[in-house]
Amino acid sequence: MATLLQQYERVVGTEVIDQLWQLARLLDGMHIVHINSTRAGGGVAEILHRIIPLKHELGIDTTWETITGDADFFQCTKLMHNTLQGNRIDIPDLLLRHYENINTENATRLKGLLEDADIVFIHDPQPAAMIESIPSRKGKWIWRCHIDVSSPYRPVWKYLRDFVRGYDASVWSLSEFAQRLPHPMYLIPPSIDPLSDKNSDMSEEELANAYARWEIDPDRPVITQISRFDRFKDPLGVVRAYRLVKDFIPVQLVLAGGGATDDPEGEEVFNEVKASAGDDPDVHILLLPPDDHRTINALQRISDIVLQKSTREGFGLTVTEALWKGKPVIGGDTGGIRLQVVNHHTGFLVNTPEGAALRIRYLLKRRDRLEEMGQKAREFVRENFLITRHLREYLTLVVAITNENRDRIELL
Ligand code: UDP
């Protein structure tokens, strides 16, 4: 059985793994601790589940702990999450005091570990206040923010900022997401895991099953958007673009997403999309369970082009996933899509359904360009958006922050 590092080496090459070893050697003797609020569910846990074992294989002494809390605590942190992302709701003082108490309890439980660690990564707002309870900390503390704090509800950000400013550094996914703080701020964009169910290679048989299961004709082009049914993802614009193409090319459209039933607005958007598609047998609107990663993988792979016509987007992991599968992406000219869709190289940036339709027609007519862009797309993700790059940047950050007074650091 190959080690994890060997498995990644097959995907990213020896040089990338060698760089990780070079950085890891500089961290010899250090103890790194990661703290978040859950081991299961959500992107943060998913990334940590991969990054921690990789660190262990690299010989880096790393511990991952999660904080525990009750329903009120998680209600409070959910409110924090939503308000930091823009909802204007005041969090009752009582809940904030409870948030602080739970942080103190967890800090007390983990006191020895936190006091002695050389580096402590605190992920997101849930455990952010623990720092207050560890005044005699020996190491550097880094707050890793995974959420979009570009236009927070100010009172809640001001409250959280009082804790975060005590950290030695913070890490943000995109510059647009960050707020000003009195310490070094680092940008580390998200990544995908090429070995996960969502992204690993699939057999011809699995792909054939996907065509059959969803009654998609393998002999005609397929365009796809995978997204929650959310207005910002502009699914109606996607249907309109499809229609504009359909007048010229016998294309099929797949719109796949989940979560519609427990989100009132999602259900409304889903129904609008259904209505706009009418009884067109070439429009496949699929409601998927949240953990159906293999289906998403297959749908992205059987597509000729993937769309992400959002009018607002954080990073857009669906874009990374599609590019990794060698598909040009036609994406809305917004947010993190701009980092990934290099116009005319890995796809096209568009602002209207008409613009999207024009680009779809162009690529379906120019198969040579479609192939070329797809190859560039995959290499672009290999270079920039895989988990190994994410880990390299974490390690580089640790090297930088623990060698602040040196003007030269040699990698051996
Ligand atoms: N996704 C999923 N099922 C769905 C729709 C989306 O698993 O029905 C996944 C998708 O593959 C991606 C993530 O959820 O990994 C969505 O992340 P993205 O950044 O694209 O958008 P968000 O939903 O966070 O706005």
Residue nearest to atom 23 of ligand 1 (CA): 228
Residue 256 CA, closest ligand 1 atom number: 8
pLDDT by 10s per residue, the chain, length 412? 899 999 999 999 999 999 999 999 999 999 999 999 999 877 899 899 999 999 999 999 999 999 999 999 999 999 999 999 899 999 999 999 999 999 999 999 999 999 999 999 999 999 999 999 999 999 999 999 999 899 999 999 999 999 999 999 999 999 999 999 999 999 999 999 999 999 999 999 999 999 999 999 999 999 999 998 989 899 999 999 999 999 999 999 999 997 645 567 888 899 999 999 999 999 999 999 888 999 999 999 999 999 999 998 989 999 999 999 999 999 999 999 999 999 999 999 999 999 999 999 999 999 999 999 999 999 999 999 999 999 999 999 999 999 988 888 888 7
305-308 and 185-187 beta bridge pairing: unpaired
Query: From ligand 1's centre to the CA of 227, what distance in Å?
Result: 6
Distance between CA 308 and CA 235 in Å, rounded? 9
Mutation pick for ligand 1 pocket among 82, 196, 228, 310 (CB with most ligand atoms within 8 Å): 228
Residue 313 CA, closest ligand 1 atom number: 25
Ligand 1 binding pocket includes 296 (Cβ within 6 Å): yes
DSSP-based three-state secondary structure for 146 = coil
Nearest alpha carbon to residue 325 among 344, 308, 303:
303
Ligand 1 binding pocket includes 257 (Cβ within 6 Å): yes
Query: From ligand 1's centre to the CA of 66, what distance in Å?
Result: 24
pLDDT digits (tens, 9 = 90+) for 297-345: 999 999 999 999 999 898 999 999 999 999 999 999 999 999 999 999 9
pLDDT digits (tens, 9 = 90+) for 106-165: 999 999 999 999 999 999 999 999 999 999 999 999 999 999 899 999 999 999 999 999
Which pLDDT score is estimated for 263? 67
Residue 315 CA, closest ligand 1 atom number: 19
Ligand 1 binding pocket includes 315 (Cβ within 6 Å): yes
Which pLDDT score is estimated for 260? 47
DSSP string, 96-117: HHHHHHHHHHHHHHTHHHHHH-
Mutation pick for ligand 1 pocket among 296, 315, 324, 338 (CB with most ligand atoms within 8 Å): 296
Which pLDDT score is estimated for 21? 97
Query: From ligand 1's centre to the CA of 326, what distance in Å?
Result: 18
Mutation pick for ligand 1 pocket among 44, 147, 197, 226 (CB with most ligand atoms within 8 Å): 226
Ligand 1 binding pocket includes 317 (Cβ within 6 Å): yes
Ligand 1 binding pocket includes 258 (Cβ within 6 Å): yes
Which pLDDT score is estimated for 262? 53
Query: From ligand 1's centre to the CA of 359, what distance in Å?
Result: 24
Distance between CA 298 and CA 295 in Å, rounded? 5
Whole-structure pTM value:
0.93
> What domains lie within the chain, and their CATH numbers?
4-191+386-402 (3.40.50.2000), 204-384 (3.40.50.2000)
Residue nearest to atom 8 of ligand 1 (CA): 257
Query: From ligand 1's centre to the CA of 319, what distance in Å?
Result: 10
For the four alpha carbons of 32, 381, 291 and 84, in that order, the dihedral sign comes to positive
CB 255 within 8 A of CB 235: yes
Nearest alpha carbon to residue 383 among 320, 296, 337:
320
Q: For residue 337, what are the CA distances in angstroms to 258, 259, 342?
A: 21, 22, 9
For the four alpha carbons of 48, 52, 54 and 58, in that order, the dihedral sign comes to positive
Q: What is the CA radius of gyration of the chain?
A: 23
Query: From ligand 1's centre to the CA of 312, what distance in Å?
Result: 14
